[in-house]
């Protein structure tokens, strides 16, 4: 019995280490990366450069919040980059071609993104079509419609009030970074404070079990797709403001950066496990890696390769964590009838023999 | 162990059910009392699963009545039966492995903070944890920390969590569909001793199993179905294991 207790104690200690590494490993990888780059470049850890890092990841990070929730629930949105372009083109048409106020353009661009997300969500969660196929269609389709609306022409000159969204700062932080922070704050409330984080986990891990417990396995992804479309549209409008241009190339390939940040952040690609804290660290990790490699004057192709390598490493960790999750808690922890007072202890050690 | 001192909590009267030409159940009646464990046995195709599905509200009988706590009921769905206090623990258990014990017990029935924060769906994790600890200890079940993920639990512990969840949610009638089908001896022991424990909490249990040893171990009463008919219903002291096998197979 002492031996069993010792083993169980060692296992639980081990388990704690494992759980700690799982929760904080990426965070310390990020800290290591920051230390590494600050040694190689004295410019790296300066406030202007930190602002640059945060600004470059702000749009990706904004899209990663609903994106991570979708992946947690076993869905995916590959259309975010194209929906960003669609919102940008809609905005350009309303403001520069039709000469309406920029606020209306912003609202209509956002509405286009929300509508696109709602439409994809209905098809996926109520008609049961594959999320990858439908949003891959959206990846091609949204940019195609944007091209149709804008006829491929780049429009610009939206006025200083609109350009301030992407180009001005508040309390020494660029406005897009504040939008990013707001997205993570709302996401964190939904994920950790409200019960939806665990509901999404349940849907992603075992949709049938979630349904049998009364979780709405259709409406929740529908809302998330709508939110993802909205976040993509806001991202597209931020980029439009930064460039002061409504153009078709906005957001091209961005879905891959968003997915990379989410997966590096430890959200399981098959759904059912992940944390928004990890996604935040994953977003920063991508930004720091890209920025540091640029400062070290590394060829940008190698920078892309490094991000690809980080993604494959994250996928390998995902497999490892799933195994570590299953390290069983040893049995001496489980007793039946040990703590109920004033009740006779059932005989645990002997099977009562049937008569006959 | 006396069998009929508890109140009659579930009664099925003359239940019949056919699937096309197959008569799965013919005029089956049974009574379950508080604090009683019924072992439901029979060969494959004898109608055990059909009977459990009718009791759990998953399918509706062609004829016959269900009476729960003295009131006649017609269940439209498993949720309906659950509201009446009948919980079925199927083999898949409906547990989410990547969530911890507390999160599983309170999944989609989360407790919220009092007042304004609660209206914003602000979950009260400490209260849920405390209720899990209190509920399990009341049932006499000691498990690893409530923060342990279900993935790290053994098969028997998972069964116990699934059953405890049902009882904690006020179900006083628990249907167990082959709870030990995939479990080893030691894991089965956890489940069986927990079932015995439930009797003291006035929970009625219907326990389906193919294993005669386990059925004799935990049941107060044994019901045998054969080809859709009830062929034996009596206290376990009235029957030997060999006689029971004869009832199941129809050999005389």
**DSSP conformation class of A298:** -
- Could you tell me the domains of chain A? 28-325 (1.10.3470)
Q: CA–CA distance from A66 to each of A40, A88, A189, A234, A252 (Å)?
A: 35, 20, 13, 13, 19
Domain map (residue ranges) of chain B: 8-96+171-249
Q: What CATH number should be reported for the domain whose range is B8-96+171-249?
A: 3.40.50.300
Stretch B162-180: mean pLDDT, rounded? 80
Interface mutation vs chain B, best among A195, A318, A330, most B CBs within 10 Å:
A195
Task: Provide the mean pLDDT of chain B.
Answer: 84
pLDDT reading at B2 higher than 60: no
Q: What are phi and psi of B233, to 5 degrees?
A: -150, 105
Interface pTM, i.e. ipTM: 0.74
Interface mutation vs chain A, best among B152, B165, B194, most A CBs within 10 Å:
B152
| Lookup: tokens for A268 | 């399981």
Q: Which residues lie closer than 8 Å to B134 by C-beta, 6 or more apart?
A: none
- Give the pLDDT band of residue A339 (cuts 50, 70, 90): very low
pLDDT of residue A107: 94
pLDDT reading at A234 higher than 50: yes
pLDDT of residue B91: 72
Query: Cα separation of A70 and A222, whole Å?
Result: 10
Sequence length of chain A is 356
List the beta bridge partners of residue B89.
B176
> Which of A6-15, A105-114, B152-161 is least confident?
A6-15
Query: Cα separation of B30 and B232, whole Å?
Result: 11
Establish if B166 touches chain A: CB-CB under 8 angstroms.
Answer: no
Distance from CA of B42 to the nearest CA of A (A): 18
pLDDT reading at B90 higher than 60: yes
Instruction: Output B134 or B3, whichever has higher pLDDT.
Output: B134
pLDDT reading at A160 higher than 70: yes
Stretch A30-50: mean pLDDT, rounded? 87
Question: Cβ–Cβ of B98/A340 closer than 8 Å?
Answer: no
Q: Which range, A71-75, A298-302, B92-96, has the best average confidence (pLDDT)? A: A71-75
Establish if A342 touches chain B: CB-CB under 8 angstroms.
Answer: no
pLDDT of residue A67: 95
For the segment A182-203, what is each residue's pLDDT rounded down to a tens digit? Answer: 999 999 999 999 999 999 999 9
pLDDT of residue A354: 38
Question: Cβ–Cβ of A337/B189 closer than 8 Å?
Answer: no
For the segment B54-83, what is each residue's pLDDT rounded down to a tens digit? Answer: 888 888 889 888 888 888 888 877 778 888
Establish if B60 touches chain A: CB-CB under 8 angstroms.
Answer: no
């Amino acid at each position: 019995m002492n031996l069993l207790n010792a083993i169980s104690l060692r296992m639980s200690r081990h388990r704690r280490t494992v759980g700690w590494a799982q929760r904080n490993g990426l965070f310390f990888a990020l800290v290591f990366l920051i230390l590494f780059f600050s040694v190689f470049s004295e410019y790296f850890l300066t406030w202007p450069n930190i602002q640059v890092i945060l600004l470059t990841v702000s749009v990706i990070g904004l899209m990663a919040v609903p994106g991570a929730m979708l992946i947690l629930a076993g869905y995916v949105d590959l259309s975010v980059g194209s929906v960003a372009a669609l919102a940008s083109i809609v905005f350009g048409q309303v403001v520069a071609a039709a000469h309406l106020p920029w606020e209306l353009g912003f609202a209509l661009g956002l509405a286009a993104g929300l509508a696109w997300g709602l439409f994809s969500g209905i098809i996926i969660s109520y008609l049961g079509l594959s999320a990858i196929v439908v949003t891959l269609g959206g990846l091609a389709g949204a940019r195609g419609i944007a091209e149709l609306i804008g006829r491929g022409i780049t429009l610009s000159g939206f006025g200083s009030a609109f350009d301030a969204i992407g180009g001005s700062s508040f309390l020494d932080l660029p406005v897009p970074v504040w939008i990013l922070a707001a997205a993570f704050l709302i996401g964190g409330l939904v994920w950790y404070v409200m019960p939806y984080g665990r509901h999404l986990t349940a849907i992603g891990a075992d949709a049938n079990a979630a349904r049998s417990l009364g979780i709405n396995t259709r409406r929740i992804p529908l809302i998330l797709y709508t939110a993802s479309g909205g976040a993509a549209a806001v991202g597209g409008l931020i980029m439009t403001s930064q460039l002061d241009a409504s153009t078709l190339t906005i957001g091209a390939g961005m879905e891959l950066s968003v997915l990379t940040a989410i997966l590096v952040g430890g959200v399981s690609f098959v759904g059912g496990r992940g944390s928004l804290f990890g996604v935040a660290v994953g977003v920063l990790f991508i930004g720091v890696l890209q920025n540091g490699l640029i400062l070290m004057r590394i060829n940008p192709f190698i920078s892309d390769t490094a991000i690809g390598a980080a993604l494959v490493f994250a996928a390998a960790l995902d497999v490892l964590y799933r195994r570590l999750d299953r390290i069983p808690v040893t049995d001496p922890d489980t007793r039946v009838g040990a703590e109920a007072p004033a009740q006779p202890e059932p005989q645990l050690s002997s099977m009562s023999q049937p008569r006959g | 162990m006396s069998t009929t001192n508890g109140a009659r909590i579930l009664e099925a009267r003359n239940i019949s059910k056919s699937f096309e030409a197959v008569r799965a159940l013919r005029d089956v009646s049974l009574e379950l009392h508080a604090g009683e464990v019924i072992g439901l046995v029979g060969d494959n195709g004898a109608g055990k699963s059909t009977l459990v599905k009718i009791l759990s509200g998953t399918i509706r009988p062609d004829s016959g009545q269900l009476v729960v706590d003295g009131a006649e009921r017609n269940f439209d769905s498993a949720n309906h039966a659950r509201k009446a206090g009948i919980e079925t623990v199927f083999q898949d258990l409906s547990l989410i492995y990547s969530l911890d014990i507390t999160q599983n017990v309170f999944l989609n029935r989360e407790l919220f903070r009092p007042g304004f924060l609660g209206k914003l769906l602000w979950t009260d994790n400490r209260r849920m944890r405390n209720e899990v600890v209190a509920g399990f200890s009341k049932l006499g079940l000691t498990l690893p920390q409530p923060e342990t993920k279900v993935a790290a639990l053994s098969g028997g512990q998972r069964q116990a969590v699934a059953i405890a969840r049902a009882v904690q949610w006020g179900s006083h009638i628990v249907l167990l569909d082959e709870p030990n089908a995939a479990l080893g001896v030691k894991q089965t022991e956890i489940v069986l001793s927990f079932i015995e424990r439930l009797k003291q909490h006035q929970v009625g249990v219907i326990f389906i199993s193919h294993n005669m040893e386990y059925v004799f171990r935990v049941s107060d009463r044994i019901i045998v179905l054969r080809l859709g008919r009830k062929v034996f219903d009596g206290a376990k002291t009235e029957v030997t294991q060999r006689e029971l096998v004869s009832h199941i197979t129809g050999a005389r």
